[in-house]
Amino acid sequence: MTFLNVFLLAGAAAFLVPLLIHLLNKRRVQTVRWGAMHLLQEVMWQKKRKLNIEQWLLLAVRIAIPIVLALCLARPVLTALRSFGLGKTSLVMLLDDSFSMRAPAPGGSPAERARQDVGQVLQAQPKGSDAQVVLAGGNARRLLDQSTSTLEVIPQQLAETTNQAGPVKVNEALQTAAASLSSAPNGARELAIVSDFQSSDWKSAADGAALPALDALMKQEPKPQVTFYRLTSDLTENLSIASADLSALVVAEEQPIGLRVRIQNHGKRPWQDVAVHLEADGARLRTSRVTLAPEGEALISFTHAFTSVGDHSLTVRLEGDSFADDNAFYSVVQVRNQLNVLLVDGDPGMEALSGAADFLELALTPYQSASASLKDLIRITKVDSKRLRETDFRGQEIIVLGDVDRLQGNRLSELDKFVKAGGGLIVFAGPHCDLNWYNQEFYRKGEGLLPAGLKGLQRATSAAPARILQQRLTHPATVYFNDARGGRLQEAGFQAWMELDTAQDGGAKPLLMLDRGTPLFLEKARERGRVILSATTADAEWSNLPLQPFFVPLMQRLVTYLATQSTVTAWDEVGAPLRVVMPKERTGVEYTLRDVAGQTQTLEVKAEGDHALLESPPITSPGIYKLTQGNSTRLLAYNLDPAESNLAPLPQEQVKQLAERYDAAFVESIEAWQKLDRTRRHGSELWQPFLIGLLVLLFFEVLLQQRIARG
């Protein structure tokens, strides 16, 4: 046992006061012998003996009262837990540094308060303790390479670290924290989860979803102490730009590009006349205004045409709320003279729109087909598959195969080289496809070009055709069709389709699915290039897809998506690094990356296998970045994850329940943490039981005094 106010123990010396009073007042008795006294001697002896016992008991109570009072004031604590090694502690703090922690508040944002509290927690650690901080925003990462006992280093490192903006991947962050704890040098281990517990990050766990990493952590020996440290934020009202979808990823000069913007109100109050600005290359072009209902959204559209070739930035920005970090959305548009596409027709027709690739040619060059004055971005070269030569691949960026039965000679190996070098390939199935050749040579059990094997032709067994599955689309080539104004994909009907074999996990990902549970479009990366496989034809033989109004933008977006994948995308999310695959001969070349604040860093292209890779550290702030090498400059756009803009936290009770589920503590302030830490480190305070004991002694002393007086 130890005492928090040890000097007040001196008050226990007050027990001498009742003892001295007792000794000074003790009466001296003079013995007078009397003959008849022996008749009363036995009775008097028994009464005297009883009286002595009560007096000694009263003396003991009066001596105990000041001693217990002194103990109560000295705040004793049980120190038995020290035998388990809680003198020195290994502490891991899982610190949420995601976007929502930046929300402004009168007392400072949760991120600012978290860093202050971390400093106070570290100051209170016993000498010899070690600590580590795991930053949980975006991809979880350790603040230091290893835990340190020089605790003052951690606040300094935190002050120099930029907050990430990605959402918290809870289980991944807990895995990183558990790995740090498992190698901790001290027997006493603690994990503090410091977060605003944003609902979008934690709701699934609060609703009962498993956290395997935390389950495994609680099984470590010795079992660590876990604390859920909830930081509250006063900001609940927030406007954000949830998305800004481009009508095309690459355009020609003077070709209008559409931008469809979705603005969300995450709060409970309505917003009137909110200004929304369109900016191109940093210059403001025009402004529109919108009204948003509580927890509602608004859609607004812009169009713009660029007059010069190169990379151009488009930015949509809104005004109104106090949290400006998510009030802008950035995109990069590539303006080019032309995009070269080779159409390989496996079944040419003599009449208009009778060939396997005729509808596709019309969709990719609509202005040329309509003899319009506007210029098409895409330049088509169309060849019969039987006459395909190696020289036809030269100068092409995208190759499309339409119902090709098989490739002759060394065309397949040349096509493989074309894709690996950064070219794009789209393969449309059809009735003339040789399934054996496709599976054995084109697919080769996942080692070939084809994203999946072909099982065979499937037909709709009833009058109802198969439809495209209605779901939230996230692929860059299809996200534009989440809004029905981009086209109703479900209106296309499929009477027949090629069933794709996706049993082997070869890295292929579906772009669109049929409601029969099979992919309609499947994509796979092939070194620097990509391949898209279609389960349907490019003509109207198996479906009415080519007859739908959205067929033109869908095909154009697929082609332009493939044309930009070997360079950079229109935008990426903050938290991800810049990654550009390059030819191996670019190894060693240095590029300069300029961020939104004007700071620059030098990046070197490094060899990776049979190609080269340019990679940066994770991008931490949204905005337009510039990548320069010599006289060449590329623009890059980074945006926040839209899920982060909903600042609503988990209610206090749900966080408490989650903590109880894992036998963890729950606090909401540094004062509560310090009290909890004292209890864990030193033991439980015992002044309350001593106070109760003092009251009992006082009551007992009064009873004894009255009893003796009556006697």
15-41: per-residue pLDDT in tens? Answer: 677 767 766 666 555 566 655 555 555
Q: Give me the mean pLDDT over the 148-177 stretch.
A: 87
Structure tokens at 333: 């548009």
Looking at 336, 354, 385, the residue that finishes a domain is: 336
Cα distances from 66 to residues 8, 23, 55, 62, in angstroms, run: 11, 18, 18, 8
pLDDT, residue 161, reads 81
Comparison of pLDDT for 582 and 600, the residue scoring more: 600
Q: Give me the mean pLDDT over the 305-311 stretch.
A: 92
Could you tell me if residue 633 is inside a domain?
Answer: no
What is the DSSP code string of 556-601? HHHHHHHHHTTS--S-EETTSEEEEEE-GGGTT-EEEEE-TTS-EE
Looking at 286, 301, 336, the residue that finishes a domain is: 336
Q: Give me the mean pLDDT over the 290-296 stretch.
A: 94
9 burial level (CB within 10 Å; 0-12, 13-18, 19+)? middle
Q: In terms of domains, do 674 and 703 share one?
A: no
Q: In terms of domains, do 124 and 21 share one?
A: no
Residue matched to tokens 């035998």: 83
Q: In terms of domains, do 406 and 517 share one?
A: yes
What CATH number is associated with residue 424?
A: 3.40.50.880
Residue 589: pLDDT band with limits 50, 70, 90: very high
Q: Angle, to 10 degrees, between the axis of helix 670-682 and the axis of helix 110-123?
A: 30
- Top-confidence range, 439-443, 478-482, 561-565, 681-685: 439-443
Q: What is the residue range of 660's domain?
A: 89-235+647-682
Looking at 497, 529, 563, the residue that finishes a domain is: 563
What are residue 592's phi and psi, to 5 degrees?
-115, 125
Structure tokens at 281: 């290359």
Could you tell me if residue 569 is inside a domain?
Answer: no
Q: Which helix (H) or strand (E) holds 69?
A: helix 41-73
> Is residue 193 a contact partner of residue 228, using CB atoms and an 8 Å limit?
yes
The mean pLDDT value of the chain amounts to: 86
Q: Is 658 helix (H, G, I), strand (E, B) or coil?
A: helix
114-142: per-residue pLDDT in tens? Answer: 999 999 999 988 888 899 999 998 788 89
Q: Judge whether residue 303 has pLDDT over 60.
A: yes
pLDDT, residue 234, reads 75
Q: In terms of domains, do 556 and 704 share one?
A: no
- Residue ranges of E strands in 136-171: 141-142
Provide the CA 622 distance to its chain's centre, in angstroms.
16
Structure tokens at 325: 């970090």
Q: From CA 595, how far away is CA 626, in angstroms rounded?
A: 7
Q: From CA 475, how far away is CA 431, in angstroms rounded?
A: 28
Structure tokens at 375: 């210029």
Q: In terms of domains, do 369 and 394 share one?
A: yes
Provide the CA 650 distance to its chain's centre, in angstroms.
16
Could you tell me if residue 637 is inside a domain?
Answer: no
Q: In terms of domains, do 500 and 431 share one?
A: yes
What CATH number is associated with residue 278?
A: 2.60.40.10
Could you tell me if residue 350 is inside a domain?
Answer: yes
Q: Give me the mean pLDDT over the 407-426 stretch.
A: 92
Q: Give me the mean pLDDT over the 57-68 stretch.
A: 79
Q: In terms of domains, do 581 and 605 share one?
A: yes
Cα distances from 539 to residues 352, 378, 426, in angstroms, run: 12, 19, 14
Q: Judge whether residue 544 has pLDDT over 50.
A: yes
- Residue ranges of E strands in 649-703: 665-667
Q: Which helix (H) or strand (E) holds 335?
A: strand 328-336
Q: From CA 125, how far away is CA 87, in angstroms rounded?
A: 9
Q: In terms of domains, do 205 and 230 share one?
A: yes
Q: Judge whether residue 437 has pLDDT over 70.
A: yes
Could you tell me if residue 133 is inside a domain?
Answer: yes
Could you tell me if residue 33 is inside a domain?
Answer: no
Q: Judge whether residue 276 has pLDDT over 80.
A: yes
Provide the CA 127 distance to its chain's centre, in angstroms.
35
Could you tell me if residue 635 is inside a domain?
Answer: no
**Total domains present in the chain:** 5
Q: In terms of domains, do 131 and 252 share one?
A: no
Comparison of pLDDT for 422 and 2, the residue scoring more: 422
What CATH number is associated with residue 592?
A: 2.40.10
Helix %, strand %, coil % for the chain, to 5?
Answer: 35, 30, 35
Could you tell me if residue 629 is inside a domain?
Answer: no
Q: In terms of domains, do 24 and 107 share one?
A: no
What pTM was computed for the model?
0.72
Q: Give me the mean pLDDT over the 299-305 stretch.
A: 93
Residue 74: pLDDT band with limits 50, 70, 90: confident
Structure tokens at 235: 């900001």
Residue 85: pLDDT band with limits 50, 70, 90: very low
- Top-confidence range, 50-64, 520-534, 697-711: 520-534
What CATH number is associated with residue 119?
A: 3.40.50.410
Q: In terms of domains, do 73 and 155 share one?
A: no
Q: In terms of domains, do 420 and 516 share one?
A: yes
